Amino acid sequence: MGKDGTVIVSLVLLPLAYLLGTFPSAVLVARARGIDITTAGSGNPGASNVSRLLGRKLGVFVFVLDGLKGALSVLAGFVAFEYAGALMLACAAVVGHVFPITRRFKGGKGVATAGGAMLALYPIVSLGLLVLWLGVVKITKKASLASLSIVVGLPIGLVIVARPASEIFTTIGLGVFVIWRHWPNLKRLLSGQELSSRRGA
């Protein structure tokens, strides 16, 4: 593909990945149960809040839907431009999830969408991080702490499997973005006020 073709495809795929990221999985699932997820619980339109309010099964369902947004974006990017394109579209999908133009730029925290993207792109590393996530949740009962642990663990995993520096630094940047979105949770963790990942906690 020539340079002009690359630019054209990028201009088409980036907005599509962003729009895919804006798909309001948690909002729609909760609304079907008569709940406005943006005002109930923590107010975060994500899988953790759905799990607390509506139970673990629906929380997992939302997590999978949000993960698919990242995975599908990676697939499109990889077909077009291999790893560089996949990471580019993954970032666009995460930004769409966090800052959806369809909901006044008020979205989730990006963990599930980023996780789905990384699972599609780095399945072995991601499976290891999934084990880490489950372990941290089981021990601490804090979904946000588990999410932060895999954000930190991802670039370390890529270093271990010897991925290129550009991919490692891209995932570090994505991780910093996700951590920034979790800053209120971090403050609650430090003050001992963070909500448990269990329903009703």
CA dihedral 58, 152, 94, 99 (to 10 degrees): 90
The whole-number pLDDT of residue 198 equals: 43
Question: What is the percent of the chain with per-residue pLDDT over 90, rounded to a whole number?
Answer: 45
* Residue 20 covered by a domain: yes
CA–centroid distance for 87 within its chain: 13
The whole-number pLDDT of residue 91 equals: 92
Query: pLDDT tens-digit profile of 24-63?
Result: 999 999 999 999 998 888 788 888 889 889 998 999 999 9
* Residue 196 covered by a domain: no
* Residue 154 covered by a domain: yes
* Residue 185 covered by a domain: yes
**Into how many domains does the chain fold?**
1
Instruction: Assess whether pLDDT exceeds 50 at residue 148.
Output: yes
Greater model confidence, 158 or 10: 158
Query: pLDDT tens-digit profile of 82-109?
Result: 888 899 999 999 999 999 998 888 888 8
Contact assessment for residue 92 and residue 21, using Cβ atoms and an 8 Å cutoff: yes
* Residue 198 covered by a domain: no
Residues of 66-95 as b/e, b for ≥16 C-beta within 10 angstroms? bbbbbbbbbebbbebbebebbbbbbbbbbb
* Nearest alpha-carbon partner for 107 in 25, 189, 200: 25
Q: Which residues contact 9 (CB under 8 A, 6 or more apart)?
A: 1, 80, 81
**What pTM value is reported for the model?**
0.83
Query: pLDDT tens-digit profile of 61-76?
Result: 999 999 999 999 999 9
* Residue 26 covered by a domain: yes
Expressed as residue numbers, the domain containing 60 is: 3-191
Q: Please give the single-letter amino acid code of residue 55.
A: G
Contact assessment for residue 87 and residue 78, using Cβ atoms and an 8 Å cutoff: no
The whole-number pLDDT of residue 200 equals: 33
Instruction: Assess whether pLDDT exceeds 50 at residue 197.
Output: no
The whole-number pLDDT of residue 8 equals: 61
Q: Please give the single-letter amino acid code of residue 97.
A: H
The whole-number pLDDT of residue 103 equals: 86
Greater model confidence, 177 or 2: 177
| DSSP structure class, residue 101 | G
The whole-number pLDDT of residue 193 equals: 58
What is the rounded distance in angstroms from the CA atom of residue 37 to the CA atom of residue 109? 14
Mean of the per-residue pLDDT values of the chain: 85
* Residue 33 covered by a domain: yes
| DSSP structure class, residue 141 | -
4: confidence class by pLDDT, cuts 50, 70, 90? very low
* Residue 199 covered by a domain: no
The whole-number pLDDT of residue 195 equals: 52
